[in-house]
Amino acid sequence: MERYIVHLIKGAEYRTRQFMGGQVKDPASMQFGGIRGDIWEAKPTIYALAPALAVYFNENSCFYKNGELYDAVNLALDFVARTQREDGSFDYPSCNFKSAADTSFCFKRLIAAYRLLVKYGMDTDEKITVLKEKYLTVMHRALEAVLVGGFHTPNHRWGIAAALLQGANLFAEEEGFAAGLRNRAGQYLAEGIDADEDGEYAERSTGNYNAVVNNAMMAMYQETGEESFLGYVERNLAMMLNYVDPDDTIFTQNSTRQDQGKKEYADKYFYQYLYMCSRQEYPAFDAAAHKIIKDNMERGDLAPDCLHIIMNHDEMMGYHFKEYGFPQQYRKFFRHAGVLRVKKKEYAYTVLNGKSAFLYFKSKGTVLCVKIGESCCDIRNFIPDKIEELPDGCRLEAEAESWYYLPFEEKQDTSDWWKMDQSKRKKLISSRLKTTLNIHETENGLELSLKAEGLDRLPLRLEICIPAGVTLEHPAFALEAAPGEGMILKEGYLTIRDGLTEVEIGPGFGEHSFKGHYSGEEINQNGYTVYANGYTPLEKKFNLMVK
């Protein structure tokens, strides 16, 4: 860590400058003492105080024991206390008010900063005593709200439970209060942790909430000594190694939360890998932590926001890395999630059950997404409902019904269509379309074997969604892919050039020119779409190959 602690300090110093520069100094403002924002809220200020106190106590920082910074922190704590609700809660004022969950997330940062005061501050320093007392007051009131409040999403439960257990130990001398906090945490924990044997949490949020839940599990282990909490962290971090793409970004398309589809590096997992390998030997975690922080620094990115965490753990501060890198190759089928992740030397691919965008093929930083349009009755896309792992790939299957309502068999109480209970109508099933896609690995990519049967004359479309701005080359033409546009590849192969990356797709087929139904069709507005079109029954092969 000696090589990287300066980088972490610089990141915390940058955040501290942002905090001090954005602090409202006008006593007439409702945001006085807090960070200037579009809305009045305490959370950004609470979060900023943790790195601020980390650099205040770090001898290698330019903010070490800085009087101006102390005054800013002191003033900010007054703002936090003034912004806190009468019941002790904090708002997330874009949508959540008197929110126990958001209060627990604030508590996570409050107690981390308080522990820096305890660990590095001198008991005889009256200025530090003032800050401690302010923190304790805010935290006690926050716990009163967390104790009786509720939640919205799965991960909220563990943020709340962690805060309750931390609070129970922090205020252990108040036996009745501490017992109440533990009992409430026990109610949440009695629901069972929402993680499967692969390490997947319910929200499947590789870009964000996995790390949030891991943080809560680590906190609950630290408060209880119960090793099972770290088991969840270990399994999730092992799983995450199989979600890193060849360009070192995280695959997020399977997330059920707001990180879906976002480009994310693994920076927020750095301190978690570091924590786990600093406790006992984990070569893969050591290598991952080392790569995350080294690459973050070499990219010139802002350091992960975790100096306050590392400074509270001597074993993390003094850790020496031995390995470096993410796994070069892997194959993992996540049965419960319905996800196949494969990484090879030249490419990686992901298959998702239950998604219209069911295949992602990635070479370096270039991503191709594959869909099938089939416009059968109310169905617009092939959405696999069955996935089977094969030795060299997988098989996807789904059926679509062509149906029509029939007249009611009994007279209804109303002639108003919108008041009728349409679920009481019988349906005529006129035909069924069965679509099967076998995905096989080849030396340089994937071969897609597509078969659609059971309904004839349906104009099916194999759709390859590619990034806008790349160059497309065919023996007959070359063009730049424009967003929202597309072409039908009627024959031969098309080369996609993106910087140094070249991917060849084909052979094309073009029996019709239909590009999708006008109603409810998913439109690739940000990228370019290459279509291969045929009528059912259909049996075709199509390749995605790295050149």
Identify the sign of the CA torsion 52, 55, 61, 63: positive
3-state secondary structure 247-291: CCCECCCCCCCCCCCCCECCHHHHHHHHHHHHHCCCHHHHHHHHH
Longest dimension (CA), the chain: 86
Q: What pairing do the DSSP bridges indicate for beta strands 459-467 and 366-376? A: antiparallel
pLDDT above 80 for 521: no
Q: Of the candidates 400, 398, 399, 396, which has an alpha carbon nearest to the alpha carbon of residue 352? A: 396
Question: What is the C-alpha separation between 82 and 76, in angstroms, rounded?
Answer: 10
Angle, nearest 10°, between helix axes 126-148 and 154-170?
A: 130
> Alpha-carbon distance 167 to 471, whole Å?
57
- The helix or strand, by DSSP H or E, that contains position 312, with its residue range, turns out to be none
Per the CB < 8 A criterion, the answer to whether 542 and 448 are in contact is yes
Residue pair 243/341 in contact by the 8 Å Cβ criterion: yes
Question: SS3 for 2?
Answer: coil
The answer to whether residues 307 and 9 touch, using CB atoms and an 8 Å cutoff, is yes
Q: Look up the pTM and report it.
A: 0.93
Whether 201 shows a pLDDT value over 80: the answer reads yes
pLDDT of residue 447: 98
Q: Can you state the angle between helices 5-22 and 283-299, rounded to 10 degrees?
A: 50
pLDDT-derived band at 523 (thresholds 50, 70, 90) equals: confident
| β-strand pairing of 527-535 with 486-488 | parallel
Which pairing describes strands 445-453 and 359-363: parallel, antiparallel, or unpaired?
Answer: unpaired
Bond preceding residue 537 cis, omega within 30 of 0: yes
Tens digit of pLDDT for each residue in 173-182? 999 999 999 9
Reading the block at residue 331, the tokens are 């194959």
Please compute the mean of the pLDDT values over residues 510-515 and round it to a whole number: 93
For 286-300, the pLDDT digits (tens) are 999 999 999 999 999
The span from the CA of 183 to the CA of 168, in Å, is 10
- Report the distance separating Cα 203 and Cα 153, nearest Å: 9
Question: What pLDDT digit, counting tens, does each position of 496-510 carry?
Answer: 999 889 999 999 999
Predicted confidence (pLDDT) per residue in 205-252, tens digit: 999 999 999 999 999 999 999 999 999 999 999 999 999 999 999 999
Length of the chain: 547
Burial class for 416, CB neighbours closer than 10 Å (0-12, 13-18, 19+): exposed
**First vs last Cα of the chain: how many Å apart?**
40
Spatial CA neighbour of 216 closest among 279, 172, 166, 291 = 166
